[in-house]
């Protein structure tokens, strides 16, 4: 029995029930961990039908595990998509999505404001495999974006709230640009979560998450997810996506014919994920599902803490600048009010006036806040960006990306805001010496 597959219920209800399956044998209330590699065929014909995709039953856990299926369906439901799949990490979700859209020699347009780990994959592994990623300024004119589109362009890629500088992206405008060009808009919405923003409602076609972050929420698992909005017309743009609109072999219908609005996700699941195998263990997904059940409650507290911390930091003499669009003084505040009415996320990035030396003293003085690379934990985390995530860039490249010597990213957790601020005061006192 599958529960609450529609979207008539409120978000808080769906984050607990959407996609849930009551185990047929035990009637277990909580989705079980199906720790199995494969599934027994009832007979010869059943095996043939499963491999042909003509059966509702699974063939192998590399791409179809019951525990994972619940998580994929739940995240898709919360995002307003038609289908979803969980994979081994956020990076795997990005790679699998682009592999399902493009091939060697193809071209992706991306906003400049992206997480550095994503940019590193774009200029590294994906470039070596023949995929070109070209960057365009987030707020470049529509004519400028259109001039960069070629016959080989297969997507426009962006983030809802770019990590770490929080430049809120105008999703509706980018969706219009993408659809005029005949390509899907792909949005990494990890920092926003579906509780704060649902990009599909603004025209996005594919939504990506690192489920390791706020969706799981406790810093205990790694995972990723891809959601298909089910709105892009693959048939109308078939010349760009022949693998979705033409028959893979004689006598077999195309993905667009068989799966309609869910053609992309069906291809991603049955071809890309099956062949590359970025499988997430069901034990990790079990923890992810428990995290999703409290997403709205946690995000409300994350937001309250983040705003309190950002307001306090903005008044401190050791802090040269605060990047948090929840602040009225932030250049992206007006856009955040439109796209993120419930709150502007839980990443607060500060630039220390004393540069790298001040950042070193700040990080080393922290006691409650954990110095580590991660975001979306219940614990407050801090990292100096220039010496870690962006360390492989030249100084010129870092400055061009907005990564100044004193830049520190804070992922604000669920502790008492008073205690978080007290520890940050300890760090700032050290930084100002």
Q: Which residue has the higher pLDDT, 433 or 109?
A: 109
Q: By mean pLDDT, which of 8-12, 57-61, 96-100 is the weakest?
A: 57-61
Fold of 11-292: 3.40.640
The pLDDT assigned to 278 comes to 97
Query: 295-431 in CATH: which number?
Result: 3.90.1150.10
DSSP strand pairing (206-210 vs 185-188): parallel
Q: Is the pLDDT reported for residue 1 higher than 60? A: no
The pLDDT assigned to 95 comes to 98
Provide the mean pLDDT of the chain: 95
The Cβ of residue 126 has, within 10 Å, a number of other Cβ atoms equal to 20
Span 36-92, pLDDT tens digits? 999 999 999 999 888 887 777 788 999 989 999 999 999 999 999 999 999 999 999
Q: Is the pLDDT reported for residue 4 higher than 70? A: no
- Going by pLDDT thresholds of 50, 70 and 90, the confidence category of residue 26 is confident
The pLDDT assigned to 200 comes to 98
- Domain map (residue ranges) of the chain: 11-292, 295-431
Q: Are 336 and 301 in contact (CB under 8 A)?
A: no
Distance CA 135, CA 111 (A): 6
Distance CA 409, CA 43 (A): 56
> How much is the average pLDDT of 339-352?
98
Closest by CA to 207, choosing from 112, 105, 93, is 93
The pLDDT assigned to 210 comes to 98
The pLDDT assigned to 322 comes to 98
Q: Is the pLDDT reported for residue 191 higher than 80? A: yes
Span 255-291, pLDDT tens digits? 999 999 899 999 999 999 999 999 999 999 999 999 9
Would the CATH topology of 11-292 be identical to that of 295-431? no
Q: Is the pLDDT reported for residue 177 higher than 70? A: yes
The Cβ-side half-sphere exposure at 174, using a 13 Å CA radius, reads: 29
- Going by pLDDT thresholds of 50, 70 and 90, the confidence category of residue 201 is very high
pTM for the whole thing? 0.95
Closest by CA to 73, choosing from 88, 84, 89, is 84
The pLDDT assigned to 376 comes to 98
């Amino acid at each position: 029995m599958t529960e609450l597959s529609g979207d008539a219920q409120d978000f808080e209800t769906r984050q607990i029930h959407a996609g849930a399956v009551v185990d047929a044998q035990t009637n277990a209330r909580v989705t079980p961990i199906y720790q199995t590699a494969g599934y027994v065929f009832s007979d010869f014909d059943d095996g043939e039908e499963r491999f042909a995709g003509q059966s509702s039953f699974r063939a192998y856990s590399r791409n179809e595990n019951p525990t994972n299926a619940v998580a994929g369906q739940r995240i898709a439901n919360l995002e307003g998509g038609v289908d979803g799949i969980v994979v081994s990490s956020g990076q795997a979700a990005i790679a699998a999505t682009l592999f399902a859209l493009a091939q060697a020699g193809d071209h992706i347009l991306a906003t400049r404001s992206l997480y550095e780990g994503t940019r590193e994959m774009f200029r590294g592994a994906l470039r070596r495999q023949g995929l070109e990623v070209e960057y365009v300024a987030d707020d470049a004119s529509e004519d400028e974006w259109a001039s960069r589109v070629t016959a080989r362009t297969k997507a426009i890629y962006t983030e809802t709230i770019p990590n770490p500088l929080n430049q809120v992206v105008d999703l509706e405008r980018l969706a219009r640009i993408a659809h005029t060009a005949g390509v899907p808009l792909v949005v990494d919405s990890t920092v926003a979560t579906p509780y704060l923003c649902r990009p599909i409602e603004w025209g996005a076609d594919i939504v990506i998450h690192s489920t390791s972050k706020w969706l799981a929420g406790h810093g205990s698992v790694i995972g990723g997810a891809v959601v298909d909005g089910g709105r892009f017309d693959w048939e109308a743009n078939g010349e760009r996506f022949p693998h979705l609109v033409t028959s893979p072999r004689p006598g077999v219908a195309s993905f667009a014919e068989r799966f309609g609005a869910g053609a992309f996700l069906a291809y991603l699941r049955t071809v890309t994920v099956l062949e590359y195998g970025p499988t997430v263990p069901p034990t990790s997904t079990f923890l992810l599902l428990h995290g999703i059940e409290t997403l709205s409650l946690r995000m409300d507290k994350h937001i309250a803490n983040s705003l309190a911390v950002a307001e306090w930091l903005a008044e401190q003499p050791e802090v040269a600048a605060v990047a948090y669009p929840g602040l009225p003084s932030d250049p992206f505040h007006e856009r955040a009010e439109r796209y993120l009415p419930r709150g502007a996320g839980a990443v607060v990035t500060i630039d220390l006036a004393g540069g790298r030396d001040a950042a070193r003293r700040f990080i080393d003085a922290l006691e409650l806040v954990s110095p580590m690379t991660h975001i979306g934990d219940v614990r407050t985390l801090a990292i100096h960006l220039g010496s870690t995530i962006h360390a492989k860039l030249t100084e010129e490249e870092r400055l061009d990306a907005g990564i100044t010597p004193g830049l520190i990213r804070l992922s604000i957790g669920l502790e008492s805001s008073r205690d978080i601020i007290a520890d940050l005061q300890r760090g700032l006192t050290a930084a100002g010496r």
